[in-house]
Amino acid sequence: MYSCGGVAIWVKQCISSKAIDLSRFCLEKDFEICAVKFSVKCKAYIVITCYRSPSGDKKIFLTKIIDVLDSLYRPNIQLILCGDINMDALRSDSGFNVLCNELAPFGLLPVVNKPTRVTSTSSTSLDHIFVNNMNCSIRISNNTLSDHKTVMIEFISESNDYSPVSKCRNFSEINIVNFIEALLAEDWGDLYSIVDLNVAFEYFYEVFMYHFYVNFPERCVQNRSRPKSWVNQGITESSENLRDLSILTKQFPELKESYIAKKRNHLDLIHKTRKQFYQEKIFKSSNKSRTMWNVVSELNSNKKRNSVNMTIAVDNRIVDDPKDISNIFNNFFIDTPKKLMAHQSCQNSAYFTSKIFEGKMEIVVKHSTIQYLQAQLKIN
For residues 31 and 154, state if they share a domain: yes
DSSP readout, 11-72?
--TTS-EEEE--GGG-BTTTBEEEEEEEEETTEEEEEEEEE--TTS-HHHHHHHHHHHHHHH
Tell me which residue of 145, 140, 105, 143 sits closest to 125, measured CA to CA. 140
pLDDT of residue 63: 92
pLDDT of residue 343: 63
Place 361 in a pLDDT band, splitting at 50, 70 and 90: very low
End-to-end CA distance of the chain: 106
The more confident residue out of 331 and 307 is 331
pLDDT at 61 exceeding the cut of 90: yes
For residues 142 and 175, state if they share a domain: no
pLDDT of residue 162: 47
Helices (H) and strands (E) in the chain, counts: 10, 16
Q: Is 11 left (phi over 0), alpha (psi -120 to 50) or beta?
A: beta
The per-residue pLDDT of the chain, averaged, comes to 78
For residues 119 and 211, state if they share a domain: no
CA angle 375, 377, 378 (to 5 degrees): 60
Alpha carbon distance 79, 227 (integer Å): 32
For residues 21 and 156, state if they share a domain: yes
pLDDT at 370 exceeding the cut of 60: no
**Mean pLDDT in residue range 37-54:** 86
pLDDT at 310 exceeding the cut of 60: yes
| Domain annotation covers residue 360 | yes
Among residues 278, 300, 322, which one ends one of the domains? 300
| Domain annotation covers residue 330 | yes
Which domain CATH number covers 95? 3.60.10.10
Most confident of 72-86, 244-258, 304-318: 72-86
pLDDT of residue 322: 82
Number of domains forming the structure of the chain: 4
Q: Is 272 left (phi over 0), alpha (psi -120 to 50) or beta?
A: alpha
| Domain annotation covers residue 2 | no
Assign 361 to helix, strand or coil: strand
The more confident residue out of 260 and 288 is 260
Alpha carbon distance 363, 193 (integer Å): 88
Residues in contact with 143: Cβ distance below 8 Å, sequence separation at least 6, in sequence order = 149, 150, 210
Alpha carbon distance 348, 371 (integer Å): 13
For residues 41 and 137, state if they share a domain: yes
Q: What are phi and psi of 357, to 5 degrees?
A: -135, 115
Residue 212 buriedness (CB in 10 A; 0-12 / 13-18 / 19+): middle
Range of the domain at 258: 233-300
DSSP 154: E
| Domain annotation covers residue 251 | yes
Place 20 in a pLDDT band, splitting at 50, 70 and 90: very high
For residues 134 and 89, state if they share a domain: yes
- Residue 73 and residue 79 in contact, taking contact as beta carbons nearer than 8 Å: yes
Place 344 in a pLDDT band, splitting at 50, 70 and 90: low
For residues 369 and 273, state if they share a domain: no
β-pair partners for 339:
none
Place 303 in a pLDDT band, splitting at 50, 70 and 90: low
Tell me which residue of 177, 238, 182 sits closest to 207, measured CA to CA. 182
**Mean pLDDT in residue range 160-176:** 70
Most confident of 136-140, 194-198, 349-353: 194-198
Assign 150 to helix, strand or coil: strand
| Domain annotation covers residue 8 | no
pLDDT in tens, 88-130: 888 888 888 889 888 888 888 888 888 888 888 888 888 899 9
Could you tell me the pTM of the whole model? 0.45
**Mean pLDDT in residue range 359-373:** 44
pLDDT in tens, 149-167: 888 888 765 544 445 556 6
Alpha carbon distance 44, 77 (integer Å): 5
